[in-house]
Amino acid sequence: MPTAVAGQPWQLDLNFYDEESGTLTDPASVQLDITYGEQVGFVPDVAGPYAYSGASTSTPGQVWRIGTGQYAFIWQIPPSTQQGVYVANWTCVYGSDTLLAVENFPVTGGYTPPVPAGDLGYWTGSLAYTPSAGTPAVPVTVVFGAVDGNGIAWLWQKLEGWDGPDVQGAGVIPRSGDHGAWAAPQYYAARTMTWTITASAPTQALRDLARATLQQAVPVSDLAVLTYNEPAPKQAMVRRSGKITEAYPTLADVTFTVGLVAPDPRKYSTQQKTLLVNAANPVPIGITVPFTMPVTLTAQGVTGSGQVTNAGTFETRPVIVITGPTTSPALINVTTGQTVSWTGLVVPAGATLTADFNIQQATLSTTGGTLGAYRAADAFSSWWTLPPGTSTIQLGGQLDAGASMVIAWQDAWVLCMNGGPGGVNDKPRILPLA
């Protein structure tokens, strides 16, 4: 099939039919506008407008009539024309109606524009996917609002669903024989989002590389880290939800619409916080012993504590690593009065007990660091969270010198606090007049 080439003529044709009769019909007027990437009204003309003024043969700068309802125009494409996808916009007046017909056609062999280093969109962030252990794929990171090593400019345009997740649960249970309902437990659901991004490449081949890169960066059954650089940057663990659709405004650009789901509805700070608490510095309990020193005291009841601050607006769940030697360790949230304990469990010197409060499980590693078996907490334990603000966390149990705990957590939010691309386009568009 012939292709429009910069520096050569290219004929554009229009066949105009009456909608009711289905026959070729002459409209009252015909005008042609040639635009780049989008139809007339959204972008300025590249060439034109060209009108039909009665010509019956090819006439420079005019649309000519071939026969009833058939019109044509020859565009002398300048050699310096930027290669890409152009649009022929035919505007016809027929009766009381003004009708627009559009046709896309690529132009090759022309000028290849440089990547727009000065126009990278308003929003910045990244998508980073590190495959799980045992997966042969390599890590992939795409940075938005920047040009990558291949010269591809990645633009973040819109993210719907970042403002707040839906809810799940019964919500309310209707009362029997009475007005209204009883309030039932209700929770935030997984966060579903629709993400619109564009990759602007120097060539069509690099555009296809961008397509493959994004497909690799959005896992299907694993999780990737989506970071949005709000004034206080935040991130969420996401995976693909549905398919990724693509649109091609030009031969070198591709716009993606990506369905995402975050199983955890929280948005977390990008920096993990940690606090080390040593049991060797016990908290004074302010008592007077009823006997004469010196005597030998056991380590039971010696505790260390520290304060942690969740600077977000929603509860977050820490990971705490207890290092032995200790017996019957306990993790106490003094602020909420809740405790998770492991009565009778021995954590030798150099071994660790890792308690993940998100999945409510603990695992004991041996002195050599080998991961051991799952260790169930006491049945009466209450797995706690870190609410917004400051909480005092205490390490309890029979603690010897050298025992410690490391608390790791991230600030958490659920609702959008800083504004951002929650369904807002990154740039205004020029709309046609009514």
Rounded to an integer, what distance in angstroms lies between the CA atom of residue 274 and that of residue 96? 71
Q: How many CB atoms lie within 10 A of CB 277?
A: 21
Q: Where are the beta strands (DSSP E) in 366-403?
A: 371-374, 389-399
CB 269 within 8 Å of CB 312: yes
Judge whether 308 and 391 are in contact, CB under 8 Å.
yes
Q: What is the pLDDT of residue 425?
A: 37
Burial of 268 (0-12, 13-18, 19+ CB in 10 A): buried
Torsion of CA 293, 298, 299, 300, to 10 degrees: -120
Q: Which residues contact 285 (CB under 8 A, 6 or more apart)?
A: none
Domains of the chain, first to last: 4-108 (2.60.40.1930), 125-171+181-265 (2.40.30.200), 273-286+299-413 (2.60.120.860)
- The pLDDT, as a whole number, for residue 292 is 44
Q: What is the pLDDT of residue 426?
A: 37
Q: Over its length of 434 residues, how does the chain's per-residue pLDDT go in tens digits? A: 578 898 999 999 999 999 889 899 999 999 999 998 788 888 889 999 999 999 999 989 999 999 999 999 999 999 888 877 889 999 999 988 999 999 988 888 776 554 444 456 667 899 999 987 666 678 999 999 888 888 899 999 889 999 889 999 888 999 999 999 999 989 999 999 999 999 999 888 999 999 999 999 999 999 999 999 988 899 999 999 988 999 888 888 999 999 999 999 999 999 999 999 987 544 433 333 443 444 333 333 345 889 999 999 999 999 999 998 999 999 999 999 999 999 999 999 889 999 999 999 999 987 655 567 889 999 999 999 999 999 999 999 988 888 999 999 999 999 865 444 444 333 333 333 33
pLDDT at 171: 82
The pLDDT score that the predictor gives to residue 113 is: 53
Count of Cβ atoms closer than 10 Å to residue 258 Cβ? 23
Q: How far apart are the C-alpha atoms of 71 and 26, rounded to whole Å? A: 9
pLDDT of residue 429: 30
Q: Sign of dihedral through CA atoms 172, 174, 176, 179?
A: positive
b (16+ CB within 10 A) / e for 132-171: eeeeeeeebebebbebbeeebbbbbbbbebbbebeeeeee
Residue 61 is which amino acid? G
